[in-house]
Structure 1
Amino acid sequence: MARIMALDYGTKRTGIAVTDELQIISSGLTTVETKTLISFLKDYFEKEKVELVLVGEPKQKDGTHSRVEEDIQKFLGKFSETFPQLPILRRDERFTSKMAFQTMIDSGLKKKQRQNKALIDEISATIILQDYLSSKS
């Protein structure tokens, strides 16, 4: 089996999470600067087999798209050109940042560590991925 990857796309940083090869466990991989995301993915896909990429779909409380959606659409176009063989699935990511922050509190991270926005993005990607895995089973 191949891995599934989740991206919590942001204009500055993108959090990345992946499953194990059996698609049982989701783990945070890293956070990269969004401007280097395609390059990072090229390197990663050369080393690891990925069969699906989940991309967070940020929505407002009323269900409308957030402002970053326009940037995500541009990224998705570039992604599809660069990796035409890889399917993309969008996943609602409402409240993942709040859930990620609460996860950091629950795990006992100190206040200074909880201010690390890159870690929040990575945990958010992990939550998106875990939500997808839970919905599959």
Structure 2
Amino acid sequence: MAPPCARRRLPGLSAKARGYLSVRGWWMLSPQLLGGLLARMEQRKRQRDRSMVADIDTRVWIIDLDHGGEMDFVLVEPSRAKPNLRFISILSPFGEALFGARVGDMVHPRFLGHEYSVLIKRVEPWQESES
């Protein structure tokens, strides 16, 4: 017969995850070690979430839902904008529509008098050294 703690149902976990945790004895971690582990997990989650928002100095990959194309842009301050190199200002109509968008969002920027429907595919931080 399994020990009482292994028989307890762990809510929200898959059968594989429950099996892994029941074998590994996760309940035997010291409170300090468990607290440190949870803090690191929360910090990584915050870093992932922050990198998923289109902001200044981020590269944004989009899918044009109207024409089926895929492109990437770097959002920059107006003084560093070079549209021919796909560095677009956050104050341009296209940059303004992308600014603050998250992966999976559909935005409708206006460009040259037309409204487009684009899907945000990926957002990553961009450093000046990548150019």
Give TM-score scaled by structure 2 length: 0.23
Larger relative contact order (CA 8 Å, sep ≥ 6): 1
**Structure of larger gyration radius:** 2
Give TM-score scaled by structure 1 length: 0.23
